[in-house]
Amino acid sequence: MPSHHYTPDNSTVHSEMARKTDVPSLYYGEPRKFDPTFRGPICNRSCTDLFCCVIFVIVILGYIALGTVAWLQGDPRKVIYPTDSYGQFCGQKGTPNAKKSTLFYFNILKCANPAVLINLQCPTTQMCVSKCPDKFSTYTDVQLQYQITAAPWDYYRQFCKPGFNNPTKPVAQVLRDEDCPSMIVPSRPFLQRCFPDFITLNGTLTVAKRTHFKDALDTARSVTELRDAANGITGLVDAKEVGMKIVEDYAASWNWILIGLVIALVVSLIFILLLRFTAGLLLWFTIIAVILVIAYGIWHCYLEFSLLRQQPGADVTIVDIGFQTDVMVYLQLSQTWFIFLVALGTIEASILIILIFLRRRVRVAIALLREGSKAVSYIMSTLFYPIITFLLLAVCSSYFAVTSVFLASSGDAIYKVMAAEPNCMYANKTCNPETFNKTNVSKECPGAQCTFAFYGGETPYHRYLFILQLSNLLIFLWLVNFTIALGQCTLAGAFASYYWARRKPQDIPPCPLFSSFSRAIRYHTGSLAFGALILAVVQMARIILEYLDSKLKGSNNVAARFVLCCLKCCFWCLERFVKFMNRNAYIMIAIYGKGFCMSARDAFCLLMRNVVRVAVLDRVTDFLLFLGKVLIAGSVGVIAFFFFTHKMPIFQEEVPTLHYYWVPLLTVIFGSYLIAHGFFSVYAMCVDTLFLCFCEDLERNDGSSEKPFLMSAGLHSILRKTDHH
């Protein structure tokens, strides 16, 4: 049977030998010598980075223990349902609040931040009510009206403490004891909490058509104070309504969304199969198609912009109209189409510049992808490995989310003294509501109450809940990166076994994907965990920096924000570099079976010795694959657009009635892109692996009969071109 490996002539050998003598080995290590016993990834192996493997297993067991303890200690109802001042859940069955599912705040002006309302406790009395108030009133007005009729009082007292029915009690004492709120304003429920119902009239923010009002003590109040106390609540309320409509749209169109994703799956498979036989034609078609589609988009945006610019009222800016749930409102603005025009023009110019200046390397990258398609065609099972990665990531994400919720809801109800007077020495001290009336606190601090503060405890577990949450996040990042590393090492091992087979496909081992997966788990769990931990620590640092940046927003400390911005930029670059090095280190692990540090060093030196070729591989092939993803997602998205906007006469009666057609449309486009990305990520890993194997092959062998190349003649001629460009 003829051999499929490539043996060049003497001139080629001498040119390759001459090329090797020019390698800057002083800086990037010596090229590898010929080893007749080397058989690629099938060689004898031993466990690598065993210490890190042991630590990783211990951490996983500890993570399971942490989740178990959180499950035993936590109660998700504490996060999901609101709690009144007595620590009782609103709407909980079997309690006096069974029919009172909404939380009402006596003085919402004390709640300066909506995050305080949703996550923590606001420093005012909170009661569970059956419905939010729908009219404006003060306790003073109700007390005066009570002398004439009891109807206003009967309505008002449902927002007072249960059992309180003394409308003649002096206003000052009522407010001191917080028997009733000083005023009620029209509100609407959101997240089972009553928030002021803001309405904009003629551009002015109002509540109950008022901009100013007085409370029970005749203190002047403005609607701006309510807005500041519940900043962003109006947007959240609108978001809830939009959310309900989106859920309804998903319920009405889920089957068509699924059909769209299946079409994307089929198109992606056809695209990959065609790459095997018509890689050059298909990729050039993809490039030209993307250019033409974007050009059409530019022309359409310019046409719409020109028409709207002549219409009155279309020159209103997006900032002026604010957030609107109807997307069509934005499409009536000339500014919207101008933004689209500039964005598409920038993208088109970028693609054309890349093609003009890198046209030779684009041809080389296309040929390299053609070679990669041969490897994929021999190991088709690799195309479906991303499904395993997705399932593992789903398990990690679900476990992290559940553990976070149970940790956040751990602990018992903690009550603290809420004093009406600012100089009370007992303020914010822990108290017991059952024995509070028997203490001297109420005598020394008139009006003080023992109210629910938060859920917590005094045990070491409760004191270190914040540390446990950070640990939960760090381990989650570690597991996610390990899952991705496992997939990369598995695919690299499978494609490396293809490359190092002397006769293709006869010498490719049976079940190369499963064999590679088994090797990665059995021998290299520690190395993969080591690389994943380094990346997880960098990502954790970036998350902390983002948190600090959000806290510093609005502050006047310019120097601190500048330093933080620089740190964020540095860590972003560091994360990108670590990802790149990890990916290549995993390939070297799959080939040679060495530890992480040694594999990372070998990969770095090998890449530096072939830095010209790296420039071709790293960006140009990624660019071509990205265009393929865009073409698949865009083509399926165009079909979905015509379908959901009733522009397909054949399916007019099948189209569901929707609130927002963009909901299923964006879902189909985003889902199609993810599906295409899953398939093309296998291609990207294949190309990276073949590239490193090619570089190793050049350094190990010289093409002679004693040391023949394992590459094909086509691959050799392809990558030799990069030396001349």
423-471 pLDDT, tens per residue?
Answer: 777 777 778 777 777 777 777 777 677 776 666 666 676 777 788 888 9
Q: Is the pLDDT of residue 174 over 70?
A: yes
The residue with greater pLDDT, 76 or 549, is 549
pLDDT band at 237 (very low <50, low <70, confident <90, very high): very low
User: What is residue 572's predicted lDDT score, i.e. its pLDDT?
Assistant: 92
User: What is residue 202's predicted lDDT score, i.e. its pLDDT?
Assistant: 52
Biggest distance spanned by C-alpha atoms of the chain: 114
User: What is residue 58's predicted lDDT score, i.e. its pLDDT?
Assistant: 96
What gap in Å lies between CA 345 and CA 699, rounded to an integer? 45
pLDDT digits (tens, 9 = 90+) for 92-114: 777 778 888 888 888 776 655 44
So where are the chain's domains?
102-218, 414-456
pLDDT digits (tens, 9 = 90+) for 636-670: 888 888 887 777 777 667 777 777 777 888 888 88
* Cβ(632)–Cβ(677) below 8 Å: no
Strand segments, DSSP code E, in 178-250 are 183-184, 187-190, 193-196, 199-201, 204-206, 212-214, 220-222
What H or E segment, with its residue span, contains residue 122? Answer: none
Average per-residue pLDDT for the chain: 76
Q: Is the pLDDT of residue 19 over 50?
A: no
Q: Is the pLDDT of residue 70 over 80?
A: yes
| pTM of the full structure | 0.69
What gap in Å lies between CA 530 and CA 328, rounded to an integer? 50
Q: Is the pLDDT of residue 522 over 80?
A: yes
- Return the sign of the alpha-carbon dihedral for residues 680, 683, 689, 692: negative
Q: Is the pLDDT of residue 36 over 70?
A: no
Q: What percentage of the chain exceeds 90 in pLDDT?
A: 12
* Cβ(249)–Cβ(666) below 8 Å: no
Angstrom CA distances, 529 to 443, 474, 605, stand at 61, 13, 22
**What three-state secondary structure class fits 637?**
helix
In this predicted structure, which of 78-82, 197-201, 422-426, 428-432 has the lowest mean pLDDT? Answer: 197-201
- Return the sign of the alpha-carbon dihedral for residues 587, 593, 599, 604: negative
pLDDT band at 224 (very low <50, low <70, confident <90, very high): low
Q: Is the pLDDT of residue 555 over 60?
A: yes
Q: Is the pLDDT of residue 204 over 70?
A: no
pLDDT digits (tens, 9 = 90+) for 304-326: 888 877 777 666 676 666 555 55
Provide the CA 147 distance to its chain's centre, in angstroms.
Answer: 60
User: What is residue 321's predicted lDDT score, i.e. its pLDDT?
Assistant: 60
The residue with greater pLDDT, 498 or 124, is 498
* Cβ(483)–Cβ(476) below 8 Å: no
Which residue is it, tokens 């990346």? 535
pLDDT band at 225 (very low <50, low <70, confident <90, very high): low
pLDDT digits (tens, 9 = 90+) for 258-306: 888 889 888 888 887 787 777 778 778 888 888 888 888 889 888 888 8
Buried b (16+ CB within 10 A) or exposed e, 454-486: ebeeeeeebeebeebeebbbbbbbbbbbbbbbb
